A = this chain, B = another copy of it.
């Protein structure tokens, strides 16, 4: 089955996270993207997002592993919603599956870029009050 270009972008992002290639990772985000760092705390824009990923790498003692255990892409025009069972683990962190939600926008040049990265799904509800 042909994979959606958004799935390929997510695979690229997961590999970049594992490799700690933050330069490559930032290519996947829009300029004003929002990343849920933890429920109640967001990083906005590439500078903040990159810093957040650097801190995450340190937190996981440079052993973070990310993979997707099932994914669906719902596309409408230049917008795509991804529902994903995202599994994260590291030597100091037991394997945990999150009900992740990602939104991608297609740029005028046809590139799908991530504008909203919320790996915590519905866990964010009520955390920003």
**A interface residues with partner B (beta carbon < 8 Å):** 1, 30, 32-34, 36, 42, 44, 70-72, 74-77, 79, 81, 83-85, 99, 101, 103, 105, 115-116, 118, 121-122, 124-129
Q: How far is the CB of A85 from chain B (nearest CB, A)?
A: 6
Closest to A129 in B: B1
Q: Is the CB of B76 within 8 A of A33?
A: yes
Q: Is the CB of B121 within 8 A of A75?
A: no
Closest to A124 in B: B72
Q: Is the CB of B72 within 8 A of A125?
A: yes
Q: How far is the CB of A34 from chain B (nearest CB, A)?
A: 5
Q: CB within 8 A of A76: which of B70, B72, B115?
A: B115
Q: CB within 8 A of A126: which of B30, B70, B75, B77?
A: B70
Bound: A36/B83 CA distance, A = 13
Bound: A76/B26 CA distance, A = 16
Closest to A70 in B: B125
